[in-house]
Amino acid sequence: MEAFPSDKQYHSCRNSQVKITGLVVVQNMKIIGLHCSSKDLHAGQIAIVKHASNLRGCDLYFSRKPCATCLKMIVNAGVNRISYWPADPEISLLNEIGNSTDATLDAKAVERLKSNSRAHVCVLLQPVPCYMQQFVEETSKKSDFLQKICKTDPSFKLDEYFVKYRKNKFREFEQLFLILEPEVHKDILKKIGLENLCEDPFFSNLRQHMNDLIFLLASVNASVPDISDFGFYCRDLQGTENVHEQSISQETARHCMIQARLLSYRTEDHKIGVGAVIWAEGKSGHCDGTGTLYLVGCGYNCYPVGSEYADFPQMDDQQKDREIRKYRYIIHAEQNVFTFRCRDIKEEEKTMFFVTKCPCDECVPLIKAAGIKQIFTGDLDAGKVKDDITYKTFSELQGVRKFIWQNNPFKVSASTHSVSRILTTAEERARDLEAHSGHLARMH
């Protein structure tokens, strides 16, 4: 959420030296809010404005340690747990920024609030499993978006693109989420009351865990191509392509799709993970760094809640007995996002559905019945039949703007226009030369 695309009014805030803070609000293991700090409010304050007494019993995950102003309110709201990314807090303590004395006093106030509160406040230290990075890399390369480029452009070198783009993204996230100098990082940790993390092996492990998580995020980011060459554009799957202006920017659409890709890694399906997230564009509520956008719900494909994974069939081979296939038991990401959404879908507001895979015939009627008018997805499976599931209904869906990840039509048209200009110029020069030659002949 720190990297959530900003509008023009918020642009100046992101260029300031106060760090943007992202926040995830979780209630009963369900994400009910995704927020980032705005020009006027910190992430913790936004949580109070958006959720108020509903924060009781919730778990809050901050991308920066919350300041005293935020912490005293969210603690008073009765939250269960507050976790944060162990870098510099929202009011930065780096020496060259602002008044370090005030920042240090604030950090001490945070520690006092933390030690006296009922809520459990902790550093978010979750090491990435040893196999996770390899799994994410392999599945990212197989993502609907990259595979579509491979099919449409034979010259596209997938491995080369993925490694290069991930490297660039890692550098970008490293600047955003890490304090690059270890000694400066230790000094920050001491000032915010985390002296116990400054000694090895704790400090080395901390840095390694942070690097691993950032590398993981960069890998997921590389699975959705950059919008300069590719993007979400509205087109009729049955015929000609018609480009329409979508309600949100290309950057925001791509960011929301990456959120869906991240969700897909929570899957219980051993073969493929699918993630879905719904955002709506409200008519008010500009306090959040997301502008008028707010989260409606998110989901991923899994078996029913409370069941044992091994109790259900795992097979997906269509050659096997239908009775031992998984399709009748797996709950699709689209189905889960409606089941566990945190807000109602309002007909008068623009609601946008982001899903990493083309919706199947089971899910399309749900999306249509919910009144959602915009679907952002890939379309490699559109119109196909796979085992017990078909994707034909999505292609025939009427009254919905389907935004499909495809080659940038604006770039193509721009290139065509350039070629046209060159040809026109060449023709004009040829006519000029011909006229000039005729003039010289007459003079002769």
Q: How far apart are the first and last CA of the chain?
A: 76
2, 90, 137, 334: which is the annotated catalytic residue?
334
Contact 353, 376 (CB under 8 A): yes
Whether residue 334 lies in the annotated active site? yes
Token pair in block for residue 441: 């002949």
Q: Determine the 3-state secondary structure of 309 from DSSP.
A: helix
Query: Where would I find the H helices in 247-330?
Result: 250-263
Three state DSSP letters for 170-202: HHHHHHHHCCCCHHHHHHHHHHCCCHHHCCCCH
CA proximity to 256, closest of 245, 244, 246, 248: 248
Output the CA angle 2-82-44, nearest 5 degrees.
50
User: CA-to-CA distance for 38 and 288, rounded, in angstroms?
Assistant: 6
Contact 63, 177 (CB under 8 A): yes
Going by the DSSP 8-state scheme, the letter that residue 380 receives in this structure is T
User: CA-to-CA distance for 3 and 5, rounded, in angstroms?
Assistant: 6
Going by the DSSP 8-state scheme, the letter that residue 341 receives in this structure is -
Using CB atoms within 10 A of its CB, is residue 409 exposed (0-12), middle (13-18) or buried (19+)?
middle
Category of 24 on φ-ψ map: left (φ > 0), alpha (ψ -120 to 50) or beta: beta
Residues annotated catalytic, as ranges: 334
